[in-house]
Chain A
Amino acid sequence: MLYPSSFLAPAFAVLAVFFFLPTVFNFVYAFTDWSAFHDDIRPVGLANVKAVLSNGALLSSLRITIVYAVLVAIMQTGFGLGLALLLERDTRINRFARVVFFIPVLMSALAVGYTFQALLKPDGPLNGLLGALIGQQVTIPWLGSTTWTVVTVAFVNSWKWMGLAMVIFLAGLKTIPADVLEAARIDGAGRWRTFLSIRFPLIAPAVTFNVATALLGSFNGFDTILATTGGGPAQQTEVLDIYIFRVYGNGLFAQATTMSLALLLLVALLAFPVIGYLRKRERVL
């Protein structure tokens, strides 16, 4: 055999035990009474689903997770593209700035979260700077609004990851053949026109990559939120992973499993169509 099946074995053994098996368990233990408070595990049917549905936490977490993921996908991709276009030319300053904008990517999201928690306090440095700019006191509760905090947190997460999106976009921009741009210039296309009709369509794979990773990453969003708001105020930034973390910490393992199953279904239902659409868009353009 030129390509022995045995070479597949170690990878698939690890996948089978530590990925597929827990995923199958997810469908089993979501319907049991597994918890920290007694030793035996018994099936309870839909009791967990009913429990999380009845206190509204599941639905609200699902909604917040979707809102958060969409906001991150938009902001992270937008910031990344803006930075890539700004820093496209290989000047010394641009190269230096690329390194600077990549530093947050290397930092732990927890560290980034704590930094912004300090920065965004109502009497903190950001409001201080804004106040100095407009000449009167500013006390915006960036992380204390039940409506807007999810946007702030999505911004913080996008701030952390925009350097990676920038690098991916820069790679995409570099692959555009020079003669195509030359042809556009001869045809009289300006900067903006060239970008809209030629460069943006040609970096479709980079858009797919960035939107997909941002969406999938923030469906599993956890550490940025933990460090900025911990899920608050009034649970308005409590995405699924934060909820799972909290419920698990309270010993309600089966309920946490139910939420984990909900996350799995959410991702399967939303991510596949979005990624499929983006891939198709690449081929059409």
Chain B
Amino acid sequence: MRNSTRGWSRLVHPAVVIVLAAVVIGIPLWLALVTSAKSQGEANLPDLSLPRVWHLWDNYSQAFSQGHMLWALFGSLLVMVPSVAGVLIFGSLASWVLARRTGRVMAVLYSAAISGIILPPAVVTIVLLLRQLHLASTPIGMMLVYMGMYMSLVIFFVTGFVRTIPVEVEEAARMDGARPLGIFIKVVLPLLRPVIATATILICLYIWNDVFYAFFVLGGGTYSTLPLNLYSVASSNLYQNNWNLVFAYVVLMSLPLVVVFVVAQRRIISGITGGAVK
């Protein structure tokens, strides 16, 4: 009995883990990698074999130029950075008040504010609204739409977190005559770091990879994002699948996030686990 459990944890378990990771994650990623280095003819029917002739540079530079990658990267960053900053600043400012003040009005406001966690955004009428505001197809319109969509998530996370912070920590600053904004910035905000880290990671992931809302808001305009361009690269060739280019684009586009993650994985995972489940 004892011997068999030791065999399990010393030999069988690690073997199971490695085989599972190699098959479940390794095969799809390998397919994307090798296909991205093949000629179009060879990539036409994707398989797991190595390229007979390597077209790594051709494919990547073609995906880079055909997908207008620099411009799309700029578009993605231009939309993501201000949206995330704005939603976090405004959201935590409101959350602090929502968490600290009591009463029926605050309860109603809180419920309304977090309703967006469950209710889907009205994507079609958002477009009409943006047209009326002359913000359709603009990065500012896209930022405001993302902020409206993820404000609920931030308020939900941060309000719950503020409630676990004792009021006493704010009192010393108040005695010294600090004004509310000063207390918020100097005392409360530093304490919110773990929950803000979690919210940042999740919202960055959602916005960076979003194609649905970007299609409605930015579609047809000058500004584009990486996923939008991946979609146009993949659907541009009507007669033959250009898998080599699709996967070159996939690899190029996924690489920054994967590298950031591998470098900072311990912080990212502990950020998510710290914030999500109390």
Contacts and interface: CB of A to CB of B under 8 A. Distances in A.
Nearest to B141: A18
Identify the 8 closest CB pairs spanning chains A and B, nearest first.
A18-B148, A171-B273, A11-B94, A25-B125, A108-B209, A118-B46, A26-B122, A22-B122
B19 to A, nearest CB: 11
Find the residue from A86, A171, A264 having the highest chain B CB count within 10 A.
A171
Interface in B140-171: 144-145, 147-149, 151-152, 155
A261 to B, nearest CB: 8
Nearest to A248: B124
B247 A114 contact: yes
A56 interface: no
Contacts of A108: 208-209, 211, 226-227, 230, 250, 253-254
Contacts of B97: 3-5, 7-8
Interface string A20-48: 11110110110000100000000000000
Given A14-B147, A22-B125, A223-B227, A167 B269 contact: yes
Find the residue from A28, A115, A241, A257 having the highest chain B CB count within 10 A.
A115
Find the residue from B129, B147, B277 having the highest chain A CB count within 10 A.
B277
Given A8-B98, A22-B121, A109-B211, 6 more contacts: A5-B97, A8-B93, A10-B94, A103-B261, A111-B230, A206-B277
Nearest to B125: A25
Nearest to B105: A5
Interface residues of B, number: 91
Given A2-B180, A3-B96, A3-B97, A15 B46 contact: no
Given A14-B147, A14-B151, A26 B118 contact: no
Contacts of A227: 234
Nearest to A206: B277
B116 A19 contact: yes
Given A93-B17, A115-B31, A124 B90 contact: no
A4 B234 contact: no
Contacts, number: 263
A111 B86 CA distance: 28
B274 to A, nearest CB: 8
A261 B79 CA distance: 27
Interface string B228-258: 0011001000000001001100100110011
Given A99-B265, A226-B211, A22 B21 contact: no
Find the residue from A2, A18, A116 having the highest chain B CB count within 10 A.
A18
A268 interface: yes
B25 interface: yes
